Structure 1
Amino acid sequence: MRIFAKSPFLIFALTCALGILHCKTESQDNTSQTVGLGLAVALQNPYQRINANPDTIIIPNSNATYQSPGRSYTPSCFGNAGNTSFHFYRKTVASNNKKLLINFMGGGACWNNDNCFGNNTTTFFNFLDTVPDLFVKVAFQGILDADVSTNPLKNYDVLFIPYCTGDLHFGSKDVSGFYNDPNVADASEPSFYSHRGHDNTLAVLKYIQTNYTQVTDIVVAGQSAGGYGAILNYPHIRQMFKDTATFPSVATVSLLADASNGAVVDNFYPDIVKTIWGGDANLPTWTGTISSTYLDSGGPASIQNFLSQVTSKYSTDKVGQYAAQFDSTQRWFFHVMGVIKSGAAYSDSSNFFGPGDSSEVSDSPNDSTNTPSNCNWAVNSKNAMQNTTGANYYYYIAPGDVHTITTSNDMFTLTSQGKSFNTWLANVVTNTGTAPEKVDCSLGSGSHPCTDTNYISNQYNNSLKRATSHQSFDLGQDLAQTCFP
């Protein structure tokens, strides 16, 4: 699901889940006792909602922004109707638990009227106020599913950070005079919209400083936009846990970024991350060579570079990055960037950005530039992962085009290059005593090891039985044959 406005997927998922359960209980004589038990199980929510309020946080040994007297923050969602108040969730697995998973939710991004608004063109999760608290339990499984015995994180408490700001969890800015929702009368439109994803993260960190001082093992993870949030906020989280006066027992901290390796158009960082989202106020200048000008035009900013700074600064932490070789959603967002950058005449139509499965995105050019195309995303993504530095950095390049894996129970059966993803994950995020590997589907066996499994269902993939696009399908090829000839 890529278009989020007025398409409450998570509400739908919750409704479906309860509906399926109801059907099952009806098949068992439909007794009130069975139905009642089934609903009790379905509605039992292990997640506690925690509201966030403006405050100040101190992160010792960081920089002047975060050290005493501290950094003030104002938690908020974007500000459109139904998406105003930020909160987060806690799942307690054990009393005084020493193991903690901090998970950043995904849900797209926005930086322009074209993709922040519209009934058919909004590309971020913009209705947090309207979803029930149970949505976390219903919509997210995988590493959050404590009922799967092979889940390496099943014994971890969870702090789940919802996404409602469209800024990859890294903004700190109220934007006025730039956005204009065409579906809202001028008199009713907010005076500003907020990209305050980093502020929301700081509210969670403040909570941790009071409620999880006993932790020994911490995993920071995120999916899609949440994976970017996990990466970009990792230095702040990690530096907080280095405060031994507050956290005297920390032993291991690790980072897992799932489907967060997007190629971007030129000037994405100065024009969007810095200017629109206000990310420059949040730069971890204590990390490697990251400076106050990191996001400036001509600067070094990229996910590859940022991760390389992280692995150097926190060299004892394991850092893992996952991506499907032809991730359809990340290819599509690269395309969306290109459409907006081109200045195309806007229409509130699903055709404006095209199908969210990237089937109609052009395969070319294939020249490793920042010009959006299916092949440029795939090639640039792989190059970025393979060129990220640090002996403590590990990647897992999976076959296919399915977007994200760690909140799906498919993670327990996924393989690439003959290697189990779940085993790789355990080696990254827990102290198994075994070093993780760098896994690449192209080194697997068979004639099509990067396309013949883990692909989404659409007419072209289903017909070819491999991950492909409309253009490649017309040539009788999958995307690997087109992009890596």
Structure 2
Amino acid sequence: MLTLVLLSSLAGCGDDSDAPPLPRAEDLPPGEWTEIAPGGDTICSRGDPYSFFVRPGNVDRVIVDFIGGGACWDEFTCGVADAIFSDSVDEIRAAVQSGDRAGLYDHENPDNPFADYWHVVVPYCTGDIHWGNATTTYGEGDAAVTIHHRGAVNARAVLDWVYDSFESPERILVTGCSAGSYGSVLWSAHIMEHYQDVPILQFGDSGAGIITDDFFRNSFPSWNALEVFPTWIPALDPDEHDIFSMALPDLYAGIANAYPTQHMSQYNTALDDNQTFYFRAMGGSGVEEWSERMQMSIAEIEERAPNFSSYLAPGQQHCIVPYENFYTVNVGGRRLVDWLRELERGEDPPSVACSGDECSAATP
């Protein structure tokens, strides 16, 4: 069942100072998903209202789950309607209403290491990997398209609710697949800074960040992504470092080393077809280059951040968190779900990786 909480007709349209307060965690019906529309300045890319979803848990532990759904950064990618990125929360709402549950979302599965957690879903509809705070017009004349890259505004609204509802939870999982993986990386720094005494695990699903050399320079200004960058971390301070020349290992290592008692992690398949698609859209050559660079990126993060672990599975599948084989992926006798269970317990399992011809097999 889905409960809908609509709090303001001003969703995405300005000040909501007269709107009633958002419901706190204790106000939500147990065992059900509730949709919460925060109003204010939250908005989706083409003007639709924004909302997020919460399912109460049985323990004082929280999943903050950033949803994926592509990205856009220029006239072409932002002008193809919803073909290359999600532009509303409709798909997430439909998934919640359908009652279908798989992977991390199956809270009835005793094999789920996070079954008893509160689950806060951060939908994605802004084309900016949850990092943006800008309204940008691409193209000119009849071909012009205006996109509200307000992923950071939306994420902040959700996190404000989390902060108000959970003063000091026992544990937090910050996760997300695809574009949501990048949301989980960047926003994990904000969450770690807010909850400095709470054990936090970041798990990025299928977001290796293999980009062309000029991608950040082209996309960051359009998204105004620096506005939400964790610049209080010295290694990520734009006054001291050229942010536009950085790659994902710099972000992972910067955050991991700033919060050495927390743990960060990443999952990929060796030949991910979706990540390869976007790599080509940015100007990259294809799957062989992507896979080689992905594995080099993982190795670099592991070398620079001792509190980072990775899991590399065979095949082309993009994302694992929302799918049933979340429970069956097995590399070298190590199930992903058991590896995650150890991380959830605060242990430090070694990284897991397929090798050689094994990586070309289908995802288990």
TM tier relative to shorter chain: 0.7 to 0.9
Mapping 1:225-236, distance limit 5 Å: 225-236=179-190
Aligned position for 1:365: none
Shift of 1:420: 1.1
Aligned position for 2:21: none
From 156, 159, 169, give the equivalent of 1:215.
169
Q: Distance in 2 between matches of 1:158 and 1:252?
A: 16
Given that 1:51 and 1:86 are in contact with CA atoms closer than 8 Å, whether structure 2 keeps it comes out as: yes
Given that 1:428 and 1:435 are in contact with CA atoms closer than 8 Å, whether structure 2 keeps it comes out as: yes
From 248, 253, 256, give the equivalent of 1:303.
248
Structure 1 runs of 4+ aligned residues shifted over 6 Å read none
Structure with greater Cα Rg: 1
* TM-score of the pair, normalised by structure 1: 0.64
Shift of 1:300: 3.9
Corresponding position: 1:144 with 2:90: no
Given that 1:256 and 1:429 are in contact with CA atoms closer than 8 Å, whether structure 2 keeps it comes out as: no
Corresponding position: 1:281 with 2:248: no
Aligned position for 1:385: 298
From 329, 333, 344, give the equivalent of 1:429.
344
Aligned position for 1:66: none
Q: Distance in 2 between matches of 1:180 and 1:394?
A: 48
Mapping 1:42-191, distance limit 5 Å: 46-54=32-40, 74-79=41-46, 84-94=48-58, 97-118=59-80, 122-129=83-90, 132=93, 134-135=95-96, 138=99, 141-176=102-137, 178=139, 182=143
Name the one with the larger strand percent: 2
Given that 2:74 and 2:138 are in contact with CA atoms closer than 8 Å, whether structure 1 keeps it comes out as: no
Deviations 1:170-204 (A, max 9, x none): 0011114657775xxx8xx7xx4210111111101
Shift of 1:141: 2.3
Q: Distance in 2 between matches of 1:295 and 1:78?
A: 30
Q: Distance in 1 between matches of 2:332 and 2:306?
A: 21
Deviations 1:194-245 (A, max 9, x none): 1011111110111112111141111100000000110011111111112xxx
Aligned position for 2:18: none
* Identical-residue share of aligned pairs (%): 24
Given that 1:319 and 1:392 are in contact with CA atoms closer than 8 Å, whether structure 2 keeps it comes out as: yes
Shift of 1:53: 2.7
Shift of 1:296: 5.0
Corresponding position: 1:373 with 2:272: no
Corresponding position: 1:451 with 2:360: yes
Taking a change above 3 Å as real, the CA distance of residues 181 and 197 of structure 1, as seen in their structure-2 partners, is farther
Given that 2:168 and 2:198 are in contact with CA atoms closer than 8 Å, whether structure 1 keeps it comes out as: no
Taking a change above 3 Å as real, the CA distance of residues 115 and 386 of structure 1, as seen in their structure-2 partners, is same
Given that 1:288 and 1:312 are in contact with CA atoms closer than 8 Å, whether structure 2 keeps it comes out as: no
Shift of 1:45: 8.0
- Equivalent residue of 1:312, what SS? helix
Shift of 1:112: 1.9
The unaligned stretches of length 5 or more in structure 1 are 1-43, 55-73, 243-249, 339-370, 456-485
- AA aligned to 2:80 is G
Q: Distance in 2 between matches of 1:420 and 1:180?
A: 53
- AA aligned to 2:313 is A
Deviations 1:45-78 (A, max 9, x none): 8210111233xxxxxxxxxxxxxxxxxxx32110
Q: Distance in 2 between matches of 1:179 and 1:394?
A: 45
- Report the aligned-residue RMSD: 2.4
Aligned position for 1:335: 280
Q: Distance in 1 between matches of 2:170 and 2:330?
A: 30
Aligned position for 1:263: 210
Taking a change above 3 Å as real, the CA distance of residues 302 and 139 of structure 1, as seen in their structure-2 partners, is farther
Shift of 1:295: 8.4
Comparing 324-333 and 124-133, the one that deviates more: 124-133
Comparing 281-290 and 44-53, the one that deviates more: 44-53
Given that 1:179 and 1:193 are in contact with CA atoms closer than 8 Å, whether structure 2 keeps it comes out as: no
Aligned position for 1:326: 271
The unaligned stretches of length 5 or more in structure 2 are 1-29
Q: Distance in 2 between matches of 1:154 and 1:233?
A: 22
Deviations 1:398-456 (A, max 9, x none): 1111001111120111111332111111122333xx4211111007xxxx21122318x
Given that 2:92 and 2:123 are in contact with CA atoms closer than 8 Å, whether structure 1 keeps it comes out as: no
